[in-house]
Amino acid sequence: MLKPKIEKALNKQIELEASSSQFYLAMASWAETQGMNGTAAFLYKHSDEERMHMLKLIKFINERGGTAVIPPLTKPPAEFESIKEIFESLLEHELNVTDSINNVVDVCLSEKDYTTHNFMQWYVSEQLEEEALARNIIDKLNMIGNDKGGLYLFDRDLENLAAQPINMA
């Protein structure tokens, strides 16, 4: 049985993962309307991945005797200045997610819930990858600058990246 503090922290994380999925979905839609189909494919996939993170939490809470709370959808922004702004926003958002996951881990330790702590280690590792990927993409965009040929190749590279399967092990 989950302790109330743990259940509350996990449900807050569900809300953040759902929000992340919506945020990345809005980014994908915007990129697609800008002719950046590779970037859109990458972001659509990222949106799906965030939803799967949410589902993993929902199932964990319910399996441990808690009650997962499905959050309402919050409207994400519909307009973005540029592809670079999208990925800077994505990194900032991922840093917030990391802080939230670290908070859940902290609550697990203070409540001596080592089962949930162990479960959350997957999310800790996932966040390292998410942040590194976002920083790498921003570095590439900084190298490209305003070069349209470079942006074309960047978009194509993201399309190839999006074609790789999602690892949810």
Binding site membership for Fe cation: which residues?
A: 17, 50, 53, 94, 127
Distance CA 138, CA 153 (A): 14
Estimate to the nearest angstrom the gap between the alpha carbon of 159 and the chain centroid: 18
Provide the Cα torsion 109, 114, 117, 121; round to 10°.
130
Spatial CB neighbours of 121, under 8 Å, sequence gap ≥ 6: 105
Cα R_g (the chain), whole angstroms: 17
In the 8-state DSSP scheme, what is residue 134? Answer: H
Q: Which residues are annotated as a binding site?
A: 17, 50, 53, 94, 127
* Residues 10 and 61 sit within 8 Å (Cβ to Cβ): yes
> At CA 83, angle to CA 49 and CA 145, rounded to 5?
130
